[in-house]
A and B are shown apart, each in its own frame.
Chain A
């Protein structure tokens, strides 16, 4: 069975600073990986996904993530964050089933 670990429950950062949200997964099979964002009082929206091919994946709102198979990681990055990026971010994985398994989430708080 696959699982997802998000090591940081909260990440505070100042506006225009770079940020990295960490995600590690475990699976005995090939996986597909996703990052979702949840703004306050809203449902989840897909930021980006890795299915195959290039290990660097670009998503919406200037976010990108890099799939590293040897380190079983899929960290999310943004070179310069905005106040509007304040939200909760979830990493998720699908292995050999149709079930999407989520990490526990990382709350990104951007300060002016």
Chain B
């Protein structure tokens, strides 16, 4: 009954450090997503993966890389963190289909601060 699990919940980095946000879902979903949420900006799509082995850029991909390790896991990597990447990050997954039954399941979020 876990749904979408994100780790860590909180992280503080110094400018230039790297880190990977982990995400796993146990619902056998094909599609997975990484969003960032900033005040007044709503949620913006960073990257998404429509299926295992494929990834595509979203609205704000610069400074990030992703890896769809398998069907369950979709990680987000910051190679050289910048203060502009201070945000709350949400992983999400959704089932199969053409979008007609789209329903995203969200993780609980990662609060990242880059000093």
A103, B4: Cα distance in complex, Å: 22
Segment at the interface with A among B11-19, B41-49, B62-70: B41-49
Establish whether residues B42 and A104, one from each chain, have CB atoms under 8 Å apart when the complex forms: yes
Establish whether residues B100 and A32, one from each chain, have CB atoms under 8 Å apart when the complex forms: yes
A104, B43: Cα distance in complex, Å: 7
Establish whether residues A94 and B45, one from each chain, have CB atoms under 8 Å apart when the complex forms: no
A21, B59: Cα distance in complex, Å: 25
Smallest CB gap from B103: residue in A: A46
Total interface residues on A, CB under 8 Å, equals 23
Chain A 82-112 residues near chain B, CB threshold 8 A: 90, 94, 97-105
Chain B interface residues toward A at CB < 8 A: 4, 31, 33, 35, 40-45, 48, 50, 58-59, 90, 92, 94, 98-104, 106-109
Query: Assuming the A-B contacts A98-B48, A98-B99, are A46 and B104 also in contact, with contact meaning beta carbons closer than 8 angstroms in the complex?
Result: yes
Establish whether residues A51 and B101, one from each chain, have CB atoms under 8 Å apart when the complex forms: yes
A36, B42: Cα distance in complex, Å: 11
Residue in B42, B58, B108 whose CB lies within 8 Å of A105 = B42
Chain A 35-77 residues near chain B, CB threshold 8 A: 36, 42-46, 49, 51
- 8 residue pairs A–B, Cβ–Cβ below 8 Å: A32-B100, A43-B107, A44-B106, A49-B102, A90-B42, A97-B99, A100-B102, A104-B40
